[in-house]
């Protein structure tokens, strides 16, 4: 240890400024912000009870809004009959809803960096509730398009992606589990709204069905607003999220390939949602409830995939996890043409939901691993702009293709090919050290750092005391306490350090303060 100078003799050494506040940004990435204003501590500890309350609030929110959007198909036949429109116009409502969801997600994740998560979540919830209650009173098709398509879509995007971007900030160990438990709510909501909504339609009518869903949604969204908040307080200053992402595009090769893969994946993600009901009719399945059953089973597969995907990615790594599941989803698409009965179509629906949900759940985990946990919202805001044209055009492209050709084979093979291109793009990405997944090295090799104490890469160092969740806990440690075991062993093997001169550090001397510095 350093010998105290004469001015501090007799007082125990404390953490230096470099241990508490990271130096100016180094490396190729300049963050749009680094948590809250200087001097504001995190709202809670990582992996704490408060963190799991955030997961609960996120679960309630996603169950309500994203679950309803995913289950929209149970309303398709009713909308066509009530408003006397053909299936193309009915599917257009769902398409507009998806496009508005991605647009709302892009805006909301950027706004939460400025105004905070709770304010954005409250506004998004109010938009969704207003949209679904006004939709229950719609008298024309275009009124339904404005309320159920535009307003509910914007509300879904504002709530879903805002909650999705917050979870990685609250966890160091088991981050994948936390995201999985949060996002599986969308699959469960899809199953509940599809089956429950179908029963309500037959007894209460479509208007009261929407009112019941809206009433339950109000209760669940209030829970989400009360519990979900950023771990690192927002700065309250306007910052250029777009400039931050453009800087990533110039300096990080993985950013380009991640966005490239997301575009092609989302371009075909909703193909089964558009074609499965028609496919069942062509195969001679006349059960009027088969469409709702298929959507519900897609939801079951989605919930299972999201539940296990986090644990699997914690074990094998974020990048490898998304690569494997994208390849499996493309195989499902290519095997779809062999499904020509109720059993085989339901089996396809389950496994397609399983693998695609795992990919969707892995996206925030990959962003947190590649670009830093506090940057999930900033990266997602621009990734949503990439997804917007692809996700919106997904269903119309394959529906038009089928109408022109009269065959499902072309859209099915095309969708499998696009997913394989996305998988190839994601194969370029390699996991960065995170300290909480992967197998331990063989005996005699270098020991991994303890979970939660992984040192942040230099490119993730920010401008404030909450630069990344990698370093937030280390910044508050006292020197000499909680050092990784490997550093202590190396210090013991090296022997005592030479004394330094008063007022100047000895050349080549490494101190605990230096070890804690993010540089």
Give 302-333 pLDDT, tens digit per residue: 878 887 877 788 788 888 888 999 999 999 99
Can you give the pLDDT at residue 197?
85
CATH number for 367: 1.20.1250.20
Q: What is the pLDDT of residues 465-489, one digit of tens each?
A: 333 333 333 333 334 444 444 444 5
* pTM of the shown model: 0.64
**Crossing angle (nearest 10°) for helices 376-405 and 241-251:** 80
List Cα–Cα distances, 47 to 167, 182, 364, in angstroms: 10, 14, 17
Identify the band that residue 221 occupies on the pLDDT scale cut at 50, 70 and 90: very high
- pLDDT at 219 exceeding the cut of 90: yes
- Within 8 A by CB and 6+ apart from 515, the residues are 483, 487
Identify which has the larger pLDDT, 143 or 91: 143
**What pLDDT, on a 0 to 100 scale, did the predictor assign at position 365?**
80
Assigned domain for 447 exists: no
242 pLDDT band (50/70/90 cuts)?
low
Would you place residue 343 in the very low, low, confident or very high pLDDT band (cuts 50, 70, 90)? Answer: confident
Return the pLDDT at 399.
80
Res 316: pLDDT = 85
Q: Which among 321, 326, 272, 275 is positioned nearest to 299, based on CA atoms?
A: 272
> What is the total count of domains within the chain?
1
- The pLDDT assigned to 103 comes to 86
Q: Is residue 223 very low, low, confident or very high in pLDDT (cuts 50, 70, 90)?
A: very high
Better-scored residue on pLDDT, 233 or 56: 56
* 180 lies in some domain: yes
Q: What is the DSSP string of 161-188?
A: HHHHHHGGGG-SSSHHHHHHHHHHHHHH
pLDDT of residue 30: 37
- pLDDT number for residue 370: 79
Would you give the distance in Å from CA 332 to the centre of its chain?
Answer: 23
User: Is residue 7 in some structural domain?
Assistant: no
517 contacts 19 by C-beta, under 8 angstroms: yes
- DSSP 3-state assignment of 149? helix
In the structure, what pLDDT confidence band is assigned to residue 184 with cuts at 50, 70 and 90?
A: confident
Rounded Cα distance between 340 and 353, Å, is: 18
What does the pLDDT average to over 43-53?
82
Residue 436 included in any domain:
no
What is the structure's pLDDT at 469? Answer: 36
Q: Is the pLDDT of residue 134 over 90?
A: yes
Per-residue pLDDT of 58-114, as tens digits, reads 999 999 998 898 888 788 778 888 888 877 787 788 888 888 888 888 788 778 877
| Residue entry with tokens 């869903």 | 213
Q: Is 30 within a domain? A: no
pLDDT in tens, 203-213: 888 899 999 99
Q: Which two tokens stand for residue 306?
A: 């999201």
- SS3 labels along 125-138: HHHHHHHHHHHCCC
Cβ contact 291:280 at 8 Å: yes
Per cent of the chain over pLDDT 90 is: 17
Phi, psi torsion values for 68, nearest 5 degrees: -65, -45
pLDDT digits (tens, 9 = 90+) for 374-427: 777 778 777 777 888 888 888 788 888 888 888 888 999 999 999 999 999 999
pLDDT of residue 404: 85
Unique residue bearing structure tokens 């028609």: 278
Q: What is the mean pLDDT of the chain?
A: 73
Q: What is the pLDDT of residue 507?
A: 39
Res 222: pLDDT = 95
Neighbours of 55 (CB within 10 A): 23
Q: Is 126 inside a domain boundary? A: yes
Residue 332 placed within a domain: yes
> What is the reported pLDDT for 20?
44
Residue 240 vs residue 463, higher pLDDT: 240
pLDDT at 505 (0 to 100): 38
Highest mean pLDDT: which of 169-178, 366-375, 421-430?
421-430
Determine the average pLDDT of the residues in 360-377: 77
Q: Where are the alpha helices (DSSP H) in 283-341?
A: 290-316, 318-335
The proportion of the chain whose per-residue pLDDT surpasses 70, expressed as a percent, equals 71
What is the Cα–Cα distance from 435 to 469, expressed in whole angstroms?
12
Report the C-alpha gap between 271 and 443 in whole angstroms. Answer: 48
Q: Which two tokens stand for residue 47?
A: 């992996």
CB atoms within 10 A of CB 443: 5
* pLDDT the model gives residue 449: 42
For helices 241-251 and 253-266, angle between their N-to-C axes, nearest 10 degrees: 110
Residue 83: give the domain boundaries.
Answer: 49-426
pLDDT score at 502: 40
Q: Would you state the pLDDT for residue 244? A: 63
Assess if residue 476 is contained within a domain. Answer: no
């Amino acid at each position: 240890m350093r010998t105290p100078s004469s001015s501090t003799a007799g007082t125990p050494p404390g953490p230096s400024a470099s241990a508490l506040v990271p130096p100016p940004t180094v490396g190729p990435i300049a963050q749009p912000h680094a948590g809250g204003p200087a001097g504001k501590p995190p709202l809670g500890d990582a992996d704490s009870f408060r963190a799991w309350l955030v997961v609960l609030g996120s679960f309630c929110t996603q169950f309500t809004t994203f679950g309803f959007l995913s289950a929209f198909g149970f309303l398709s036949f009713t909308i066509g009959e009530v408003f006397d429109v053909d299936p193309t116009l009915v599917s257009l409502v769902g398409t507009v809803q998806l496009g508005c969801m991605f647009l709302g997600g892009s805006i909301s994740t950027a706004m939460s960096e400025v105004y905070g998560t709770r304010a954005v979540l409250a506004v998004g919830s109010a938009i969704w509730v207003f949209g679904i209650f006004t939709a229950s009173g719609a008298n024309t098709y275009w009124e339904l398009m404005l309320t159920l398509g535009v307003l509910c879509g914007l509300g879904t995007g504002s709530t879903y992606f805002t909650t999705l971007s917050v979870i990685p900030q609250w966890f160091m160990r088991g981050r994948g589990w936390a995201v999985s438990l949060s996002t599986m709510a969308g699959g469960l909501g899809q199953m509940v709204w599809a089956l429950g909504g179908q029963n309500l339609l037959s007894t209460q009518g479509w208007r009261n069905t929407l009112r019941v869903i809206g009433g339950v949604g109000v209760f669940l969204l209030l829970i989400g607003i009360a519990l979900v908040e950023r771990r690192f307080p927002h700065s309250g200053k306007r910052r250029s999220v777009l400039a931050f992402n453009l800087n990533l595009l110039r300096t990080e090769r993985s950013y380009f390939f991640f966005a490239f893969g997301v575009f092609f994946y989302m371009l075909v993600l909703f193909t089964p949602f558009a074609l499965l009901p028609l496919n069942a009719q062509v195969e001679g399945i006349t059960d009027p409830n088969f469409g709702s059953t298929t959507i519900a089973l897609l939801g079951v597969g989605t919930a299972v995939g999201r539940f296990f995907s986090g644990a699997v990615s914690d074990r094998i790594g974020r990048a490898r996890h998304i690569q494997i599941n994208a390849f499996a989803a493309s195989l499902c698409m290519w095997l779809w043409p062999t499904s020509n009965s109720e059993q085989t179509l339901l089996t396809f629906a389950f496994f397609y939901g399983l693998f695609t949900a795992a990919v969707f759940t892995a996206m925030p985990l990959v962003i947190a691993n590649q670009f830093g946990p506090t940057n999930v919202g900033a990266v997602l805001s621009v990734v949503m702009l990439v997804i917007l044209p692809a996700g919106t055009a997904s269903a119309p492209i394959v529906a038009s293709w089928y109408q022109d050709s009269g065959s499902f084979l072309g859209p099915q093979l095309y969708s499998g090919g696009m997913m394989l291109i996305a998988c190839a793009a994601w194969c370029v990405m390699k996991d960065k050290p995170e300290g909480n997944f992967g197998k331990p090295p063989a005996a005699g090799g270098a020991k991994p750092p303890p979970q939660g104490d992984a040192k942040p890469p230099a490119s993730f160092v920010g401008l404030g005391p909450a630069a990344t969740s990698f370093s937030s806990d280390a910044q508050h440690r006292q020197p000499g306490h909680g050092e990784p075991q490997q550093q202590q062993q190396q210090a013991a093997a090296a022997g005592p350090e030479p004394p330094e001169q008063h007022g100047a550090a000895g050349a080549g001397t490494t101190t605990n303060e230096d070890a804690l510095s993010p540089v």
